[in-house]
Amino acid sequence: MTIVINVNGADHTVEADPSTPLLYVLRGELALNGPKFGCGLGQCGACTVLADGAAVFSCLLPLAAAKGRRITTVEGLGTIGALGPLQRAFEAEQAAQCGYCIAGMIMRAQALLEAKPNPSDAEIRLAMQPNLCRCGTHMRILRAVRRAAGAMAPARRPAS
Amino acid sequence: MKPTNSAPALAAAVLLGLAGWAALAASAAPPARPAFPEPAIRHGALLAAIGGCDGCHTSEGGAPFAGGRAFGGPFGAVWATNITPDAATGIGSWSPAAFAAAMRQGVRPDGQNLYPAFPYDHFTHASDADIADLYAYLMTRRPVIARTPSNHLAPPFDSRAAIGSWKARYFRPDPFVPDGAHDAEWNRGAYLVESLGHCGACHSPHNAQGGEERGRELDGAWAEGWYAPPLNGSTPAPTTWTQEDLNAYLGSGLDNRHAAAAGPMGSVVHELARASPADLRAIAVYLAQRMAPAAGAPARPPDHADAAARAHPAGALLFAGACATCHEAGAGMMMEGRPPLQLGTPLDEDNPRDVISIVRRGLEPPVGPAGPSMPAFADSLTDAQLADLVAYLRARYSDRPAWRDLAKAVADARKGPSG
């Protein structure tokens, strides 16, 4: 079946069964390998992408439910030459060890910072809870999210 | 239990109150306390788990028993009080008789009535010995200075005098009377369910004034946006709840022949997991007898996969992509002893609300930080897709009639406290 999905700002026509989880199409058809297959059960978060700005597990999002929504993967946040604020922050804090969870972590954090530009530590921890890291770089990940929150927050207006 | 505040004004009141409460929530030096016998303290701890005291009297991330959690309802918000033995802000200055009067009569040491959000209509049935042991346990907790915020209630409920007329109509301070037709274990279970366990606070229907409807005890009721199913013969459960099933469920939040605990029952099983095994077993014995189906064992739970897919193709497709990897027969999760969907009670309830809430919010591990959990789908599926999926689930896994107006039910769940 032919389905059109919008990923990182562009429409893509894919041939797939509408029940196929979005993750397989992103990786297999569109060569967007940022989102990872971790558990396939919505328990680890390695596959996290944005759907209309909300963080979702792409391993449990059927194509039929992805249709008509703006999908964003980590590739949509910046390029090698021009990294996005979260990508820069994760690099600056050296927040990746093996790196398998990081694309999902960044997307989960992106959803948080789009909704709440200046979250408290408790709010960051709560929002990041669905995503797991086996290497144990959690403290660096939290630092990276805090660093990006500062960078992404809109500049304060000078007092007039 | 989680606070439920639907009205915006109420939410604002709660926020203001929280700020004031947090500022005062520091620990105090313990006052000199009378010595209590160790066995009384230990037994009191087990009874507190049955009563779920800290489920209501502990705020999110707060000190145990220090209060600070709001309970909202149609009349406004009532705050769970500090029941640590701090003399100024807790119950440290209460005598054993004062504690018993609160439990048994719903009266504070100053003579004022307590709001029945504190379920003294159940605790009144507790024995003198159990109340004394609970007192011993609470009085030996760490005292915490935490002033309870003021309640915010609409007139006439803002006046504690109004509680007097409520009590006159609905409060029956009768002692528990054992039923000679049953053995000691059954009677222990009945006693715990009716008194400290206060199961009826959620599972029995209440009228508009908040009084339990006579003759409909444990008949199923709405609590915090969830349907607490009947704990008697009118249970819609597709398979019989045996004593072993109930024992497993109450002690762990999961029974592989029925379901995982969801909604407010999640925090209840966190508490019950710390109760005495003998008491849990007694409750299971009693409830299994109450819940025994009148017409013998129910039929084998259905799986109308083909018919459901024909009737609801959009829902079938969503199920295949979002749910089957865990819930389809033969999926990895099913090999770990999770209950198949057709065994769960929610798909057989008259109202789709619980199913919708579970799909939208997912499930937390029932007891402890690890354990089975289900991800939330609120951000993955649109309301229309959720309605398609729920229609398919009902058609596939239940023999009961299709739910009507699922679009409205989904929209209501999104706005409600369980959404």
Say what the ipTM of the complex is.
Answer: 0.91
Same domain for A90 and A72, yes or no, is no
Check pLDDT > 90 for residue A42.
yes
Listed in sequence order, the DSSP H helices in B146-242 are 161-170, 184-194, 200-203
Decide if A100 contacts A46 (C-beta within 8 A). Answer: yes
Predicted local confidence at residue B161, as pLDDT: 80
**B24 at A interface, C-beta within 8 A:** no
Strand-pair category, B221-223 with A70-72: unpaired
Q: Does the structure show a pLDDT above 90 at B34? A: no
Residues B209-244 have pLDDT tens digits of 888 898 999 999 998 889 999 999 999 888 899 999
Is the confidence at residue B331, as pLDDT, over 50? Answer: yes
Cα–Cα distance for residue pair B402/A118, rounded to 1 Å: 46
A48 and A90 in a common domain: no
Supply the pLDDT for residue B72: 76
Specify whether A89 is located in the same domain as A141. yes
| Closest chain A residue to the Cα of B383, Cα to Cα | A65
Looking at the domain assignment, is residue A118 inside a domain? yes
Average of per-residue pLDDT values in chain A = 94
Residue A151 in this model has a pLDDT that exceeds 70: yes
Please check the confidence at residue B369 and state whether its pLDDT lies above 80: no
CB-closest option in B318, B320, B325 to A40: B325
- Report the pLDDT value the prediction gives residue B335, as an integer from 0 to 100: 81
Stretch A35-47: mean pLDDT, rounded? 96
Interval A83-110: pLDDT, tens: 999 999 999 999 999 999 999 999 999 9
Average pLDDT, chain B: 87
Residue A143 lies in a domain: yes
- pLDDT tens, residue by residue, B68-85: 888 877 678 889 999 999
Prior bond to B156 cis, omega within 30? yes
Q: Which residue among A22, A44, A77 closes a domain?
A: A77
Interface of A with B (CB under 8 A): 18-21, 40-43, 51, 54-57, 59-65, 130
Among B145, B149, B138, which Cα is nearest to B27's?
B145
Whose CA is closest to B50, among B296, B274, B262, B298?
B274
Whether B384 contacts chain A with CB within 8 A:
no
pLDDT at B391: 98
User: Is A127 within a domain?
Assistant: yes
Q: Same domain, yes or no, for A44 and A89?
A: no
User: How many domains, chain A?
Assistant: 2
Question: Are A100 and A69 part of one and the same domain?
Answer: no
Highest mean pLDDT among B148-162, B287-301, B347-361: B347-361
Contacts of A60 in chain B (CB under 8 A): 321-323, 325, 375, 377, 380
Q: Which residues pair with A15 in a beta bridge?
A: A2
Q: Are residues A63 and A12 in the same domain?
A: yes
Which domains can be identified in chain B, with CATH numbers?
Answer: 8-170 (no CATH), 184-291 (1.10.760), 305-415 (1.10.760.10)
> Regarding predicted confidence, which is higher, A150 or A134?
A134
**Which residues make Cβ contacts (< 8 Å) with residue B172, sequence separation at least 6?**
B121, B124
- CB contact B321 to A (< 8 Å): yes
Q: Do B76 and B175 form a contact (C-beta atoms < 8 A)?
A: no
User: What DSSP letter does each residue of chain A carry, written as one string?
Assistant: -EEEEEETTEEEEEE--TTSBHHHHHHHTT---SS--S-SSSSS-TTEEEETTEEEEGGG-BHHHHTTSEEE-GGGG--SSS--HHHHHHHHTT--SS-TTHHHHHHHHHHHHHH-SS--HHHHHHHHTT---SS--HHHHHHHHHHHHHHHSPPPPPP-
CB spacing of A18 vs B317 below 8 angstroms: yes
CA atoms within 13 A on the CB side of B114: 24
Say if residue A18 is in the same domain as residue A71: yes
Quickly state the pLDDT bin for A38 (edges 50, 70, 90). Answer: very high
CA angle B400, B242, B270 (to 5 degrees): 95
Please report whether residue A136 resides in a domain. Answer: yes
Contact, B49 vs B271, CB < 8 A?
A: yes
Instruction: Read off the CATH number of the domain in which A97 is found.
Output: 1.10.150.120
Query: Whose CA is closest to B326, among B298, B362, B274, B278?
Result: B362
pLDDT band, very low/low/confident/very high, at A48 (cuts 50, 70, 90): very high
Residue B364's pLDDT is 84
Per-residue confidence at B24, pLDDT binned at 50, 70, 90?
A: very low
Q: Is the pLDDT of residue A10 over 90?
A: yes
Best mean pLDDT range from B257-266, B290-299, B309-318: B309-318
Question: For residue B297, what pLDDT band results from cuts at 50, 70 and 90?
Answer: low
Domain assignment present for residue A43? The answer is yes
Task: Indicate the residue among A77, A99, A125 that finishes a domain.
Answer: A77
Cβ within 8 Å, pair B321-A55:
no
- Residue A4 is predicted with a pLDDT of 97
Among B residues 132-191, those touching chain A with beta carbons less than 8 Å apart: none
pLDDT at B30 (0 to 100)? 41
Residues A63 and A103 in one domain: no
How many angstroms away from the CA of B380 is the closest CA of chain A? 6
Pair A62, A98 in one domain: no
3-class DSSP state for residue B78? strand
Q: Domain containing A19 — which CATH number?
A: 3.10.20.30
Evaluate whether residue A35 is within a structural domain: yes
Q: The domain containing residue A14 runs over which residues?
A: 2-77
Residue B181 has pLDDT above 70, yes or no: yes
Residue B296 has pLDDT above 80, yes or no: no
Identify the domain boundary among A35, A52, A77: A77
A90 belongs to a structural domain: yes
Q: Which of A17-31, B111-125, B156-170, B386-400 has the lowest mean pLDDT?
A: B156-170
Check whether residue A90 and residue A73 sit in a common domain.
no
For residue B159, the model assigns a pLDDT of 79
Instruction: State mean pLDDT over B375-388.
Output: 96
How much of chain A, in percent, has pLDDT values that exceed 70?
A: 95
For residue A158, tell me if it sits in a domain.
Answer: no
Q: By the 8 A CB rule, do A71 and A6 touch?
A: yes
Q: Do A99 and A133 have their domain in common?
A: yes
Same domain for A69 and A111?
no
